[in-house]
Amino acid sequence: MLKGVGVGDSSASPVAATLTWILKDGLGMTGRILFAWLRGYDLDCNAKKWRLIADILNDIAICMQLVSPFFPSCFLLIACLASITQSVVGVAGGATRAALVQHQARRDNMADVSAKDGSQETLVNLCGLLIGLIITPLIAGQTVFVWSLFFSFTLLHLYSNYKAVSVVSMETLNCNRLHLLMRNLFLNGTISEPNIVNREEPLLFRQERFFTVEYGSSLSSVLIHSSDYSRSILQFNKGQKFIIKLSKTKRQIRVAFHCGSSSSDQLKAGLTVELIEFVCGGCYGDSNYLKDYALLIRKGVESTDESVLVDVCQDIINDLFSSILDQLRKEGWTVSHHLLGIKEWRYNVS
């Protein structure tokens, strides 16, 4: 990077180098703010995924910085892209580290775990520094060998981080873990242990689902027709503090929450969404767990009014909710709070 901005080049302009550096850093700061605004809510929900993405992006940014001097005409573009990438790494890496440290602090000793984590990182960096001091004189000028070492160490770094993240077992429910849990429950009638579900949870790629689901939607996006209003008021009078809007044609489920909804209400909405998706996927006929509700489910599936199916699934979950919570607790899952990635929209009824 220093070579790219003109260090060691007598013809380089100090002003141009300064402006290049300022632009690079300025775009990096802007990228940091934008990423935190756009994806901040997802960092808690998918901490393992973003921890791994941060490691991948960090290696990509380092690679871009190393190749930038070889392309003088594109140096500014490459340097700015590397800076933006590193800004994402800074936000995602720092935030997910805090989330993982909190998870690892089993005795509420977060400061102790954080300090030891920092010491471990310092030790690794120190070892890397010493190895660098030893091998740098030996490989100076051997460009092919240098790049071979870089890519070898990068692959080792990514593999190590993937293995480290994949063995983390989190007991708090996010969308992916809830989906895997409920599908197994509805099919087999059993709740899996956290270790099993965490091994099945996808780390990098999006989980394949029948519907796209949005929690915390605005009221205007779920109350589209006049019938939706009367139905929502009826549900609210029954004590329900969320509204679910199903669209089979768009393959989309939106959930709006009342401003007084608790974590338990939100988890109940999540279970209802999972049941709707399971039923619409056509698997309910193979479920012994839901056999007592087979006629009710068939009525909802065959109805042309999508709200009928939603109401049926809500009634079933209302019946089973306490039992499901007990099973979750028994297997070691945390049900006092969740990480479903709920957005900030809330509605009120006066």
Using CA atoms, how far apart are residues 331 and 342, in angstroms rounded to an integer? 25
Using CA atoms, how far apart are residues 48 and 204, in angstroms rounded to an integer? 9
Using CA atoms, how far apart are residues 272 and 280, in angstroms rounded to an integer? 12
pLDDT at 330: 94
166, 185, 219 - which closes a domain: 166
Three-state DSSP class for residue 341:
coil
Clarify whether residues 223 and 323 are in a common domain: yes
Which has the closest alpha carbon to 184: 62, 40, 346, 327?
327
Three-state DSSP class for residue 323:
helix
Clarify whether residues 244 and 97 are in a common domain: no
Query: Residue range 205-219: average pLDDT?
Result: 88
Residue 262 resides in a domain: yes
Q: How many CB atoms lie within 10 A of CB 78?
A: 19
Residue 146 resides in a domain: yes
Clarify whether residues 23 and 121 are in a common domain: yes
Using CA atoms, how far apart are residues 141 and 174, in angstroms rounded to an integer? 50
Q: How many CB atoms lie within 10 A of CB 316?
A: 20
Residues 55-102 have pLDDT tens digits of 999 999 999 988 888 888 888 888 889 889 999 999 998 888 888 888
Q: How many CB atoms lie within 10 A of CB 14?
A: 9
Distance of CA 61 to the CA centre of its chain: 21
pLDDT at 226: 58
What domain range includes position 146? 14-166
Clarify whether residues 114 and 72 are in a common domain: yes
Residue 347 resides in a domain: no
Clarify whether residues 176 and 119 are in a common domain: no
Clarify whether residues 124 and 259 are in a common domain: no
pLDDT at 227 over 50: yes
Domain total in the chain:
2
Residue 344 resides in a domain: no
116, 149, 166 - which closes a domain: 166
Clarify whether residues 105 and 196 are in a common domain: no
Cα angle 222, 49, 201 (rounded to 5 degrees) comes to 80
Query: Residue range 199-228: average pLDDT?
Result: 83
Clarify whether residues 108 and 185 are in a common domain: no
Residue 349 resides in a domain: no
320, containing H or E segment: helix 306-330
Clarify whether residues 178 and 147 are in a common domain: no
Residue 279 resides in a domain: yes
104, 139, 166 - which closes a domain: 166
pLDDT at 228: 63
Q: Ramachandran region of residue 172, left (φ > 0), alpha (ψ -120 to 50) or beta? A: beta
pLDDT at 339 over 60: yes
Amino acid at residue number 292: D
Using CA atoms, how far apart are residues 50 and 53, in angstroms rounded to an integer? 5
Clarify whether residues 229 and 110 are in a common domain: no
